[in-house]
Amino acid sequence: MTIRTVLAAAVGLAFVSGVAAQQPAPPPPQQPDFSKAEVKVTDLGNKTFMLEGVGGNITVAAGDDAVIMIDAQFAPMHDKIKAAVDAATRLPIRYVVNTHFHGDHTGGNAGFANDGAVVTAQANVGKRLSEGTTNGLSGAKTPPVTGAGLPSNTYTDELTLKIAGRTAELKHVANAHTDGDTYVYWTEANVLSTGDTFSTGRYPNIDFANGGNIKGMIEACDRFLKVVNDQTRIVPGHGFLAAKADLVSYRAMLVDARDRMAKLIADGKSEADAIAAKPFADYDKKFGATDQASQNFVRVVYHSLKP
């Protein structure tokens, strides 16, 4: 999987349907300079850490003799991530869990698998990676992944991973960010790892072309709110370390976005009409949205409610 196709899939440019193709395509995203990238490590207590680099946030949970790591960012980040985990824990990575199939979370799979880690994911992640995918907004195609880049250990609804002194309960929420989302609540550390079903400081991407739906995003938040409390640290798919109040605010935005868009669709509005209406303008500043990011969020909500 190339960095170019991964970034195209993550950002989205212009949807290739009759109506959306009328939207002008923005310039292509600038490729990150991995040589200058750094990995920030935040100690969450109880031998649990949040790693921020280039791509999705990572959770590292150390046991007595090994580590379970949630997500793997891009392939060029492998050495820096591995060094950060070693510095924090001095232990090898036994499992790498993919929260979904996007390349900014799975690009490092092969590198860590070659190190001896067992790459684990919900079954639809393996399917999407092995078959290749198409971005619903841009039409950009991400080619199939083969070999060690694919998860070798998959599950359907729930799976328990165990290492000495540590357990991870993997749970699937259907049709949220994608059709293969996994989240983990670390009971002993009171830490929740959400993947891209929850992000902070930015609008979420709802990958409607690959099983995502705003209704599932709201359902994911409802599940999270049943396990977190005011002391829980939440590692989002992207953005800053969050608390329960951030999750509550995020869910409220999603519900509001769903209801506003549902009304526009009921009134017979097209995608172009919805973009022109700017139905989420009051949220743009809070979520740090550029004009393109704002339009993209309108479009993914529209398409997740009106296929």
Q: Tokens 């259907």, residue?
A: 174
**CATH architecture designation of domain 3-250:** 4-Layer Sandwich (3.60)
CB 53 within 8 A of CB 81: yes
Q: Tokens 């868009």, residue?
A: 261
pTM of the predicted structure, to 2 decimals: 0.90
Q: Is 211 exposed, middle or buried (0-12, 13-18, 19+ CB in 10 A)?
A: buried
155: which residues sit within 8 A by CB, 6+ positions away?
120, 121, 122, 123, 170, 172
pLDDT on residue 251: 98
Q: Is 179 exposed, middle or buried (0-12, 13-18, 19+ CB in 10 A)?
A: buried
Q: How many CA atoms lie within 13 A of 238 on its CB side?
A: 17
pLDDT on residue 143: 97
Q: Please state, in angstroms and rounded to a whole number, the distance separating the CA atoms of residues 131 and 163.
A: 31
Query: What kind and span of H or E run contains 306?
Result: none
Give residue limits of the domains in the chain: 3-250
pLDDT on residue 249: 97
167: which residues sit within 8 A by CB, 6+ positions away?
160, 161
pLDDT on residue 127: 98
Residue count of the chain: 307
Q: How many CA atoms lie within 13 A of 180 on its CB side?
A: 23
Look at phi and psi of residue 288 and say left if phi exceeds 0, alpha if psi is from -120 to 50, else beta.
left
Tens digit of pLDDT at every position of the chain (307 positions): 444 334 434 433 333 334 344 444 444 556 789 999 999 999 999 999 999 999 999 999 999 999 999 999 999 999 999 999 999 999 999 999 999 999 999 999 999 999 999 999 999 999 999 999 999 999 999 999 999 999 999 999 999 999 999 999 999 999 999 999 999 999 999 999 999 999 999 999 999 999 999 999 999 999 999 999 999 999 999 999 999 999 999 999 999 999 999 999 999 999 999 999 999 999 998 887 799 999 999 999 999 999 7
pLDDT on residue 28: 52
Q: Please state, in angstroms and rounded to a whole number, the distance separating the CA atoms of residues 255 and 261.
A: 10
pLDDT on residue 21: 40
pLDDT on residue 14: 36
